[in-house]
Structure 1
């Protein structure tokens, strides 16, 4: 039986694939996707492509490339993202990367506020089930689909890694998942989701990047652009070149995070007001964990804040474990 965990984000495509009984193979690709005719041509190309070519409703798309590579094509950054052609292209890319003709079970997530809408959950599950024409000569079948609140994947991954899972059986765990478009959180008490204390804030990583771009422009007089700054971070570079200068990005990201982080934590603490007991542990997962770690620790000074190894994969590893 093949299980595929997929996390189709606004910045990255993450997947975990494999058969139950072992450990999944995990992959990370940029979440850029656009019609194939919108792709700019590299001047110095060695013939190798760093993206995938797929079909969406019979039309050729490229997927898994940096979002700034497409021309005359806007990046999707809104709540209806799962219904877009770009999202479908990334889903087809994930199926292709799974290297299977049939996938028994797909597990994926939605931001908390979207998950709480049963119609949206079923629409996404129905969109992913069935036979998909991925390329002109490749069809892949998905038999079952399970949709969960995104941060729950990180919780499952955390519990799986504990030497003794019984130590948190009666604990209240607050899972915070900063992504590119939204910061989502769930409160899990005695293994159950506390829906009244789940929430979403749109003051996410994209807002921090926008603020860092604004601060850099103030000091250096030019606009480095959100996508270029994002690409710099994805490559692990410490500097970005702007108007002939090399700019250290870390100080500007910290200033931006110091401004945006408290806005998120205020909203988060408000959502917990109805609870008659506090959380016992904060679990910080997701690709934007580093941006918000300091704000979360300041907001919950008496609690342990735990961040897993490779937090960008935490949700998708958990999705796979739920399916397996």
Structure 2
């Protein structure tokens, strides 16, 4: 029987996952990384017509997650995943199980998840998370899923695998040194690899992601309008589309705030240079992540002698790579089992 492999990337901004396959193509979905707790399941349980959310039971509470989760937000909507140990939080587990709920599976043989590079270096924390995700999980309304094995991967490593597959260069990449840069919602991650192996001392992450860019602009708008403006998602959409946001019923020009906002990518890249240097020994520089569009200029300025490779769908690059890597690992494990050789917990 073919092993069931699925990948989930619980980011600070969005939870991305592989919902399935159709005609050989991966089907990707995502929803905001917000989980709102309550004591009991409400009328919106399930992916129904009223609200596309589901109530996930974790540690005695019910967490509402899903595409329409903003409709469940209360006045105080804290971003609880904006810290370095976010994968320990019950909200993290609720988001991940929300993704598994959407997959409509009763069993997953191998679940591949992503972590920021700095977190991935904490091997005890990684091992604890893999153990936490292995086993049977309740998904609400009597539904359950069994995860037989969980494997964590550094988030940018998935993008490297996906890039190699899309460019038909996996064999070449295994012989080359690469830099994968992944500006996400909360963290700015980078990974230096020799082939597919991470070089730990040159890889890291810092908390200078798109959240900091948006926060800088939101603070600027608050000062300019003498208000406490806090519409982060509206500003994020405006930056991506180039359209002026409507602030207090009027179109608002963000141009005055962009010079300060662009300092965030410059600061992130400057910190990366302490680890990477001038990248003279690096063959490939690959830019992925939801913040790629805003960080590209700073990255190009730092590495003027390199071509910066971008992927067509950068926000799903990591999770697609996780899926491919998981499929390869599952084949290896099956082959080892067939030959009587049992793999360890951390291949």
TM-score by structure 2 length? 0.83
| Counterpart position of 1:224 | 229
Structure 2: segments with no counterpart, 5+ residues: 328-347
| Counterpart position of 2:308 | 305
For 1:205-224, list aligned pairs within 5 A. 205-224=210-229
Q: Which has the higher contact order (CA 8 A, sep 6+)?
A: 1
Selected match of 1:320 from 308, 323, 345: 323
1:241 aligns with 2:246: yes
| Counterpart position of 1:282 | 285
Q: Is the 8 A contact 1:3 1:20 kept in 2?
A: no
RMSD of Structure 2 on Structure 1 (CA):
2.9
**Does the residue aligned with 1:159 lie in a helix, a strand or coil?**
helix
User: CA–CA distance in 1 between the matches of 2:227 and 2:76?
Assistant: 22
- More moved, 54-63 vs 177-186: 54-63
User: CA–CA distance in 1 between the matches of 2:93 and 2:246?
Assistant: 34
**Does the residue aligned with 1:270 lie in a helix, a strand or coil?**
helix
For 1:69-108, list aligned pairs within 5 A. 69-72=73-76, 74-76=78-80, 77-108=82-113
Q: Is the 8 A contact 1:128 1:145 kept in 2?
A: yes
Rate the CA distance shift 1:284–1:164 in 2: closer, same or farther, 3 A. Answer: closer
Q: Displacement of 1:73 after TM fit?
A: 5.1
User: CA–CA distance in 2 between the matches of 1:40 and 1:237?
Assistant: 38
Q: Displacement of 1:253 after TM fit?
A: 6.8
Q: Displacement of 1:61 after TM fit?
A: 1.6
| Counterpart position of 1:153 | 158
Q: Displacement of 1:279 after TM fit?
A: 1.4
Q: Is the 8 A contact 1:2 1:20 kept in 2?
A: no
Q: Is the 8 A contact 2:109 2:149 kept in 1?
A: yes
- More moved, 50-59 vs 258-267: 50-59
Q: Displacement of 1:166 after TM fit?
A: 3.2
User: CA–CA distance in 1 between the matches of 2:121 and 2:303?
Assistant: 26
Deviations 1:275-316 (A, max 9, x none): 995312210111111121110011111111111011000000
Q: Displacement of 1:114 after TM fit?
A: 1.1
Selected match of 1:61 from 56, 60, 63: 63
1:142 aligns with 2:147: yes
User: CA–CA distance in 2 between the matches of 1:228 and 1:183?
Assistant: 19
1:263 aligns with 2:264: no
Rate the CA distance shift 1:104–1:248 in 2: closer, same or farther, 3 A. Answer: farther
Rate the CA distance shift 1:172–1:225 in 2: closer, same or farther, 3 A. Answer: same
Q: Displacement of 1:91 after TM fit?
A: 1.1
Q: Is the 8 A contact 1:178 1:292 kept in 2?
A: yes
Selected match of 1:109 from 87, 107, 114: 114
Deviations 1:108-160 (A, max 9, x none): 11111111111110111111110001103101100111111111011111011
Q: Is the 8 A contact 1:111 1:149 kept in 2?
A: yes
- More moved, 78-87 vs 157-166: 157-166
Deviations 1:38-95 (A, max 9, x none): 99999xxx96103222211342220122398234452211112111121111011011
Q: Displacement of 1:97 after TM fit?
A: 0.9
Q: Is the 8 A contact 1:53 1:63 kept in 2?
A: yes
**Does the residue aligned with 1:66 lie in a helix, a strand or coil?**
helix
Alignment size in residue pairs: 319
Rate the CA distance shift 1:164–1:283 in 2: closer, same or farther, 3 A. Answer: closer
| Counterpart position of 1:189 | 194
TM-score by structure 1 length? 0.89
Q: Displacement of 1:24 after TM fit?
A: 2.1
| Counterpart position of 1:293 | 296
Q: Displacement of 1:217 after TM fit?
A: 2.7
1:119 aligns with 2:121: no
